[in-house]
Amino acid sequence: MSPITLTIFWILIGIILFPVILKNKAPYGRHSSKKWGKTIKNKTGWILMELPALLVCPIFYFLNTSNLYSLNTFFIFLWVLHYTNRTIIYPLRIKTKGKKMPFLIAISAIIFNVVNGFINGYFLSITSYQNHHYLLLILGLVLFMTGFIINIKSDNKLIGLRSKSEENKYVLPKGGLFRYISCPNFFGELVEWFGFALMTFNIGSLSFFMWTFINLVPRALSHHKWYNENFNDYPKNRKAIIPKLI
């Protein structure tokens, strides 16, 4: 199977699974469930899940590129920037003492990140940007960095809500984009990878943005529903993930 065929197939799988993911909450974090079998520590699970994304894409790229001084390498740098935070920094900062996630969820995420890392590493290694439209580059970079900052700031606020004595107690988030949506951290990732897709302008990055939407929108809707069910004073004007829309 060629990488292009694999990527098209990968996109179709995501589209088919989207309604299924919408109806079934991912069983970790506030939606944790023992029905999914053996569990592992939450921080360990996060690192294991994201590590393939951090490694596979850049390793494949550097093994298959002949020109390191290119826009392609700059795009890889942005990829590594995001996943260094997601794989190492974020898991070590979260305050989830005693929390666990199903091992099966970690395994499924590992498989996803291996496939996604390969697809993006491949297309970033073969795509030529000699005649790349700089408007796409500038707009995409602005969106990527804006989403990256939104994601980190939102994570910081959520982490800061929990004191050391109440690490597993959920607190109503307020301020910033939390005034408009329940999951600005997810919104930041959507903006990030939409910007990345614009910058890199290949089917691999498009597939990743689509999968980001497919994964994060259902999770945001689940979080939004949970907030409304568990906080009587939860603001009724907040949306789940996209201000004014979803």
* 191 half-sphere exposure, CB direction, 13 A CA radius: 22
Which residues, other chains included, contact 83 with Cβ-Cβ below 8 Å and sequence gap of 6+?
A: 50, 53, 54
Whether pTM exceeds 0.85: yes
pLDDT digits (tens, 9 = 90+) for 223-241: 898 888 888 888 888 999 9
Q: What's the pLDDT at 34?
A: 60
* Confidence band for 165, pLDDT divided at 50, 70 and 90: very low
Q: What is the mean pLDDT of residues 202-208?
A: 96
Q: Which amino acid is at 174?
A: K
pLDDT digits (tens, 9 = 90+) for 49-84: 999 999 999 999 999 988 888 999 999 999 999 999
Which residues, other chains included, contact 231 with Cβ-Cβ below 8 Å and sequence gap of 6+?
A: 172
pLDDT at 96 over 80: no
Angle CA(31)–CA(219)–CA(191) in degrees, nearest 5?
A: 145
Which residues, other chains included, contact 103 with Cβ-Cβ below 8 Å and sequence gap of 6+?
A: 37, 38, 39, 40, 45
Q: What's the pLDDT at 88?
A: 93
pLDDT digits (tens, 9 = 90+) for 1-20: 788 899 999 999 999 999 99
Q: What's the pLDDT at 164?
A: 47
| Closest by CA position to 94, among listed 25, 156, 170, 177 | 156
* Confidence band for 32, pLDDT divided at 50, 70 and 90: low
Picking from 35-39, 60-64, 167-171, which range would have the lowest pLDDT averaged per residue? 167-171
Picking from 121-130, 197-206, 222-231, which range would have the lowest pLDDT averaged per residue? 222-231
pLDDT at 126 over 80: yes
Looking at the DSSP bridge assignments, the partners of residue 101 are: 40
Q: What is the mean pLDDT of residues 125-132?
A: 88
